């Protein structure tokens, strides 16, 4: 019966996750968490799609709502954050959640301590609920990025950071983990199709939302990024301020004088999920490098850099700051930024070689 269903629907994300859990008993609680994320993404996809009709455009409450990073929050930033929190609250598998739109990590249940120390609270989730939201009013693609870590119940806080409750301190240390500790990561891209792309550490799998049955269906099994490319994807207006190795490599690519001899094209959406999705499928190099003004670039390590780097590496690509593997960096704080260059192995390696040569 199961196979008959599958012949009609294709392999759904739900079925895929059940099979992952059957083959990997240590991941047996992951499907319910994925089910919460998947449901939230479907709801967010609808909110984004209908935002022009429902008045969910523009800044929150007539302006003035600023997140902890000093960015003005859009109505959809706040609403999508709530959708995710609510969807995960009742999975019973999540202890702590950190998000771009929350000042500090939060527990997902009102009775925080009970749930956080409940042995079923197995995971910590980190999110950017609506990445690229500044583009949404113009109908440009946006996305949700997520990463999942194990919940470390033994974790002890050293010192007493001022202004944080005991619960918040436990939360905090639970989220400050390097990408190498990720159990799973992924994104949902809201675009011409709604794509859900994920990894649990054995390749990258892409699903497309079939709206006629309301399910994500496997359309891109085992995504592998091409080894070299002809596309770069940066906010090139910042090029004069980049580190010399980054700047010089891109200048060579422009004129076909890089290692591959390819003359590169530029493609930049300004929405990380869209730019990374294209990079995974067509090959290319995406990045937000360090510049003289922003030493750590713009992207956030915990809920943008690390989850996307995990996907990129699992697809056979590389992700680096130029001198360090992004996956190996342990954040000192939740909203820490990190310079990033990621994508096709051969081309990213060329950037790394340039940094090395520059000492
Ligand atoms: P918003 O969510 O504020 O639109 O920022 C999106 C983002 O973090 C990332 O998705 C893009 O890659 C990057 O910013 C674009 O930054 P620039 O506008 O500086 O190119
Ligand atoms: P395709 O339909 O072949 O993708 O071409 C798209 C297009 O005509 C425009 O939509 C776009 O602005 C332009 O090409 C991009 O050109 P270039 O590759 O030179 O940047």
CA of 200 to the centre of ligand 2 (A): 35
Task: Name the 3-class secondary structure at 86.
Answer: helix
Task: State the Cα–Cα distance between residues 288 and 286, nearest whole angstrom.
Answer: 7
Average pLDDT of 110-117?
A: 36
Of 152-161, 250-259, 328-337, the range with the highest mean pLDDT is 250-259
Shortest CA distance to 97 belongs to which of 194, 7, 174? Answer: 174
Q: Is 225 in the pocket of ligand 1 (CB under 6 A)?
A: no
Buried residues in 168-207 as b, exposed as e (16+ CB within 10 A): bbbbbbbbbbbbeebbbbbbbbbbeebbbbbbbeeebbbb
Pick from 51-65, 77-91, 183-197, 325-339: least confident: 51-65
Ligand nearest to the CA of 266: 2
Ligand 1: which atom is nearest the Cα of residue 128? 2
Q: Is 271 in the pocket of ligand 1 (CB under 6 A)?
A: yes
Of 4-8, 15-19, 151-155, the range with the highest mean pLDDT is 15-19
- Alpha-carbon dihedral 322, 326, 329, 333, rounded to 10 degrees: 100
What is the model's pLDDT at position 121? 59
Pick from 80-89, 263-272, 279-288: least confident: 80-89
Average pLDDT of 161-189?
A: 78
Q: What is the mean pLDDT of the chain?
A: 87
Q: Is the pLDDT of residue 156 over 60?
A: no
What is the model's pLDDT at position 6? 65
Work out the burial of residue 254: count CB atoms within 10 Å of its CB; fewer than 13 is exposed, 13-18 middle, 19 or more buried.
middle
Task: State the Cα–Cα distance between residues 325 and 74, nearest whole angstrom.
Answer: 32
Q: Is 109 in the pocket of ligand 1 (CB under 6 A)?
A: no
What is the model's pLDDT at position 2? 53
**Strands 231-233 and 265-266, bridge-based pairing:** parallel
Q: What percent of the chain has pLDDT over 90?
A: 66
Q: Is 132 in the pocket of ligand 1 (CB under 6 A)?
A: yes
Task: Name the 3-class secondary structure at 213.
Answer: coil
Out of 298, 305, 342, 343, mutate this one to test ligand 1's pocket (max ligand atoms within 8 Å of CB): namely: 298
Q: Is 235 in the pocket of ligand 1 (CB under 6 A)?
A: yes
Average pLDDT of 126-135?
A: 92
Q: Is the pLDDT of residue 114 over 80?
A: no
Band of the pLDDT at 115, cuts 50, 70, 90? very low
Buried residues in 297-312 as b, exposed as e (16+ CB within 10 A): bbbbbbbbbbbbbbbb
């Amino acid at each position: 019966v199961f196979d008959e269903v599958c012949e009609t629907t294709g392999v759904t994300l739900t079925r895929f996750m059940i099979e992952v859990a059957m083959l990997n008993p240590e991941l047996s609680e992951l499907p319910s968490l994925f089910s919460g994320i998947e449901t939230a993404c479907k709801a967010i996809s609808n909110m984004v799609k209908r935002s022009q009709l429902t008045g969910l455009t523009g800044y929150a409450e007539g302006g003035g709502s600023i997140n902890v990073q000093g960015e003005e929050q859009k109505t959809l930033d706040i609403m999508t954050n709530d959708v995710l929190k609510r969807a995960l609250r009742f999975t019973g598998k999540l202890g702590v959640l950190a998000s771009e739109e929350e000042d500090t990590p939060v527990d997902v249940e009102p009775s925080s301590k009970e749930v956080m120390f409940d042995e079923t609270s197995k995971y910590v989730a980190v999110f950017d609920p609506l990445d690229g939201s500044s583009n949404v009013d113009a109908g440009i693609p946006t996305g949700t990025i997520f990463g999942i870590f194990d919940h470390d119940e033994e974790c002890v806080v050293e010192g007493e950071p001022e202004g944080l409750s005991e619960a918040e301190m436990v939360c905090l240390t639970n989220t400050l983990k390097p990408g190498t500790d990720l159990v799973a990561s992924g994104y949902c891209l809201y675009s011409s199709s709604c794509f859900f792309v994920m990894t649990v550490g054995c390749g990258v799998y892409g699903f497309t939302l079939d709206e006629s049955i309301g399910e994500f269906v496997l359309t891109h099994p085992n995504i592998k990024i091409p080894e070299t490319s002809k596309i770069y994807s940066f906010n090139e207006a910042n090029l004069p301020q980049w580190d010399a190795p980054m700047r010089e490599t891109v200048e060579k690519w422009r004129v076909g004088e890089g290692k591959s001899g390819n003359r590169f094209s530029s493609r930049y959406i300004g929405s990380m999920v869209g730019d990374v999705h294209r990079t995974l499928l067509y090959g290319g190099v995406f990045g937000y490098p360090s510049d003289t003004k922003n030493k750590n670039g713009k992207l956030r390590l915990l809920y943008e850099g690390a989850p996307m780097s995990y996907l990129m590496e699992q697809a056979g690509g590389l992700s680096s700051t130029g001198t360090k593997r992004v996956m190996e960096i342990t954040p000192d704080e939740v909203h820490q930024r990190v310079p990033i260059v990621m994508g096709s192995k051969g081309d990213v390696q060329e950037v790394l070689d340039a940094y090395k040569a520059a000492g």
